[in-house]
Structure 1
Amino acid sequence: MLYQLSYTPMAKAERISMLRRRWQAAYRRAPQGAKADAVMHAPAPEIIPAELLLRAYRSGIFPMADHRDDPDVYWVEPRERGIIPLDGFRVSQSLRKQLRQNRFRVSCDEAFDAVIAECAQPREELAESWISRRIETSYRALHRSGHAHSIECWHDGELVGGLYGVAFARVFCGESMFSRRTNASKIALAWLVAAMRRAGYALLDCQFMTDHLASMGAAAIPQAEYMDRLQAASGSPLCTLPNAFSGFYSEAGALGASSSPGKVIAHSLIQTS
C-alpha cells in the first residue's frame, strides 16, 4: 500500500488565498480587462523554477495537481498544518525491534527519481495522484539543485519503501512516502527524524494530518503557528542529511560487529536532544 505524506482529498485542500496570487502571476497574467478568479488554477511551465518553489515553501505554501496528467498546478496553504516534533516522534516497540533487526538497508539520495516515481503511483483506494508529471519533473530538478532529498529502504537490492521532501534552512517538508514491504515507510521516516536531529534541524513539516502520521507523533497546528515555527527554523543545519546518514554508518562500524546502523538509529531515537 502507498502512503502519501501530503495527500488529502482535493475537496479538503484549501487553495491559495487572494493574498498569495503573486505566485500564480509567475505563471499567467489574465487578459486585460478579464475578471480575476477568486482561486486561480494556473498553467505551469514545463518545470516550476527551483527558486519559485523554495520561495513558496518559505512562505508556507506548496504546489499540487488534480491528477497525474494535469497540465496545471495550484498552490495550497492549509489552515492547519501537520508537523512531527523531532523530540516527540513515537517509536513503537515493534518498530524499534525492526530497526534493531536492520531489516533494510536505508540510504539518502541514492534513488530520488525512483522514489518520487513510486510515490506518484495510484493507490488502491485512490485512482489519481496529486503528483503530476510536471510536478515530478520539477522536484527532480530541485533535487539536482540540492534542495530535495529522498530516503530509500532496500531489501536484497530492491527499492521497497521510502519518502522524499524539500529541505531549506533547518526545515524539511515531507511530500510523499510509499511502502512495498511492511513498515518500510515508517523505517524511512524514523531514519529521517534521527538524521534531522543529528544535523540540527528544527522543523519536520508533514503538511496534512493522517492517522498513519498521528500514530508516530504528528500533530496539527494552526497555519499562523506554523509560520512562526518556520521563521524560528532559519539558519543553517550542522550538516547535510546525506552526511548525517553517513555518520550513522560510520558510528555503527566503529562500534564493531555487535552493532548495526539500525541499532544506532533505534538508540538515538530514545534519547532526548
Structure 2
Amino acid sequence: MGQTFFLPCVDGNVEFPHPRHALIEPNGLLAYGGDLSSQRLLKAYQQGVFPWFNEDEPILWWSPHPRMVLFPEKFHCSRSLQRFIKKTDYDCYWNRDFATVIKKCAAPREQQPGTWISTDMQQAYQELFNQGHAFCVEIEYAGQLAGGIYGVKGDRALFGESMFSTHTNGSKIALFEVCKTMLAKQIKVLDCQVYSEHLATLGAELIERRKFLQLIDH
C-alpha cells in the first residue's frame, strides 16, 4: 500500500520519500505541498518525481508505475512523417526562447480549456532554464513557429514536460530533433511521464518504475 506524504516549505529540506511509497490509485501520487524552488525541483527529477497539479490544488508530486519513456533509438518516424521532413524546409533552435515555448505549451487546446502549466509553474521552470537545468526546442517553417518542446536536463536523461504544435507535425519534428541530439550525445532516455496514445505512435513505451529509476540514477 502506498502513502502520500506532506512536504513542508522549509529551506534546505527538499528530500522526497522513495517513489516505491507512491499510491497505486491515483497512480503515482507520492506527496503534496512544498514549493517549486529550483532546489526542490532538481531533487524531484533526480529521484524520478515530477509536479503536476491544477491551480486550485496544492502542489502534487508524482512517480507513476509503469513509466512512459522514449528511447531515442526507438523513435518511430512513419513514412508519412519521413516524406514530410524531406519536403519541408524547417529550422530547429535549441534554448533560444524558453518563455515563448512554455507559454505556447500552456495555451488552452481543443477539448482542454484549462492548463496545468500555471504562471507559477512557468516562472519556476524559467528559473531552472536560467540556471542551465532546463531546455527547449523550437521548430520554424519559413520563419514561422511551428512547434516545440521543453523539459528538464538530467545527467543521464532528459525529462520532457510538454510540447505544442501550431502547424502540421511541428511537435513531431521537435521530438525527432530531440532524439537526434540525444543519440549524438549518448543520452539514454527521454522521460514522457504518463501514457498517451500520441506518444506511443512515436515509439514511446511503458517500463517498470524500478527500471526507470535505474536508468536515471547518477
> Fold-level match, TM-score > 0.5?
yes
Task: Quote the offset at 1:123 in angstroms.
Answer: 1.1
- Mind listing any 5+ residue stretches in structure 1 that lack a counterpart? 1-16, 30-37, 235-273
Alpha-carbon contact 2:156-2:215 (below 8 Å) kept? no
Residue 5 of structure 1 corresponds to none
Q: Give the alignment partner of residue 65 of structure 1, picking from 50, 53, 61.
A: 53
Task: Quote the offset at 1:39 in angstroms.
Answer: 7.3
1:84 aligns to 2:70 (yes or no): yes
Q: CA RMSD in A?
A: 2.2
Give distance in 2, aligned partners of 1:160 and 1:92: 19
| Letter aligned with residue 198 of structure 1 | A
Residue 164 of structure 1 corresponds to 150
Specify whether residues 218 and 108 from structure 1 end up closer, same or farther in structure 2 by C-alpha distance, changes over 3 A only.
Answer: same
User: TM-score of the superposition, structure 1-length normalised?
Assistant: 0.68
Task: Quote the offset at 1:174 in angstroms.
Answer: 0.5
- Mind listing any 5+ residue stretches in structure 2 that lack a counterpart? 14-28
| Letter aligned with residue 96 of structure 2 | E
Q: What is the SS of the residue equivalent to 2:77?
A: coil
Structure 2 counterparts to residues 112-191 of structure 1, below 5 A: 112-191=98-177
1:42 aligns to 2:30 (yes or no): no
Residue 18 of structure 1 corresponds to 3
Residue 262 of structure 1 corresponds to none
Q: Give the length in aligned residue pairs.
A: 201
Q: Deviations over 1:191-239 (max 9, x none)?
A: 00000110110111111111110001110112122112222xx3xxxxx
Residue 222 of structure 1 corresponds to 208
User: TM-score of the superposition, structure 2-length normalised?
Assistant: 0.84
Give distance in 1, aligned partners of 2:31 and 2:69: 27
Give distance in 2, aligned partners of 1:136 and 1:87: 30
Q: Deviations over 1:81-119 (max 9, x none)?
A: 100112211111121122223432111111111000010
Alpha-carbon contact 1:64-1:135 (below 8 Å) kept? no
Alpha-carbon contact 2:91-2:140 (below 8 Å) kept? yes
Alpha-carbon contact 2:38-2:128 (below 8 Å) kept? yes
Alpha-carbon contact 2:8-2:34 (below 8 Å) kept? no
Residue 20 of structure 2 corresponds to none
Following TM superposition, the consecutive aligned residue runs of length 4 or more in structure 1 with deviations greater than 6 angstroms are none
Query: Computing the radius of gyration over CA atoms, which structure comes out larger, 1 or 2?
Result: 1
Alpha-carbon contact 2:146-2:168 (below 8 Å) kept? no
Specify whether residues 210 and 40 from structure 1 end up closer, same or farther in structure 2 by C-alpha distance, changes over 3 A only.
Answer: closer
Residue 24 of structure 2 corresponds to none
State the percentage of identical aligned residues.
32
